[in-house]
Amino acid sequence: MNTSPKQAAAQAALELILPQLKREMVLGIGTGSTANCFIDLLAAHKQAFAGAVASSEQSAARLAAQGIALYDLNDLAQLDFYIDGADEADPNLCLIKGGGGALTREKIVAATAKTFVCIAEAHKRVEVLGAFPLPVEVIPMACAYVMRELTQLGAKPLKRADVVTDNGNWIIDAAGLAITQPLALEAQVNAITGVVESGLFASRRADILLLASHTGVVHLE
Ligand code: 5RP
């Protein structure tokens, strides 16, 4: 069977962390189809580490189905690795994430990890972030206000239809932003009252980016 780029990126991440796994180690695991590939590959090595913290209910269910023990982040001091996909990655390894709506928990788990390994198809690499609409998780009653504030920042915001996050909130997708200053925009968006978190990963960007295509995997850091 042919290996897809998502599987190739996941395999490259597995090969990167396998030699560093320890029996007491807990891994942070992201959300989405590429993270799913990683979970499925990781299952064969579950004796080599203690378990995982999941960034979503969806990933928690997949990890549990693979027999990987789940941990509560509050019971752990620091994670060695966080492995997750992305919707876009810029040359500085700043990311847009949250296409799957799990951005807040993803950012929390990433924040606690020593090394964030991002796995993605090569086309996710862009010069400037923003062609993919920036997901923003909001407290539901603040949705219209946050959309007006995002418009002031130059975005065309749209509430994601029929989506309630694992935290009981809504998602706004902010299109039309050319994100040349990711750190500054992350701070601006996160400062809007009612915003829970933005999918801009700039203050906690990836440490390693594994970009896969049909011709191979490129390792950036
Ligand atoms: C979920 C995410 C995902 O990592 C991102 O959407 C990429 O997903 P996929 O691996 O399916 O392309 O941020 O909230």
212 within ligand 1 shell (Cβ under 6 A)? no
Which residue ranges in the chain fall short of pLDDT 70? Answer: 1
pLDDT tens, 160-209? 999 999 999 999 999 999 999 999 999 999 999 999 999 999 999 999 99
The count of other CB atoms within 10 Å of the CB of residue 69 is: 12
Catalytic residue of the set 24, 88, 106, 121 = 106
Q: Which atom of ligand 1 is found nearest the CA of 33?
A: 11
Strand order in the sheet with 156-159: 156-159, 170-175, 134-138, 195-198
133 within ligand 1 shell (Cβ under 6 A)? no
Q: What is the pLDDT of residue 2?
A: 82
Q: Model ipTM?
A: 0.99
Q: Which atom of ligand 1 is found nearest the CA of 85?
A: 4
Backbone torsion region of residue 93, taken as left when φ is above 0, otherwise alpha when ψ lies between -120 and 50, otherwise beta: left
Q: Nearest residue CA, atom 4 of ligand 1? A: 85
Task: For residue 82, give the H/E element and its range.
Answer: strand 79-84
For the question of whether the overall pTM of this predicted structure is more than 0.95, the answer is yes
Give catalytic status of residue 106 as yes or no: yes
169 within ligand 1 shell (Cβ under 6 A)? no
Please tell me the distance from the alpha carbon of residue 162 to that of residue 139, in angstroms, as a whole number: 15
Pocket test for ligand 1, best of 6, 31, 196 (most atoms within 8 A of CB): 31
Ligand-binding annotation for 87, yes or no, is yes
* Exposed/middle/buried for residue 46 (C-beta within 10 Å: 0-12, 13-18, 19+): middle
Q: Nearest residue CA, atom 6 of ligand 1? A: 99
Q: Where are the alpha helices (DSSP H) in 45-177?
A: 57-65, 103-111, 143-152
Q: How far, in Å, from the CA of 172 to the mean position of ligand 1?
A: 16
What crossing angle do the helices spanning 5-17 and 33-42 adopt, rounded to 10°? 50
Distance of CA 219 to the CA centre of its chain: 18
Closest CA to 27 of 45, 5, 54, 2: 54
Ligand-binding annotation for 28, yes or no, is no
Q: What is the pLDDT of residue 1?
A: 65
Here the tokens at position 127 are 């010069």
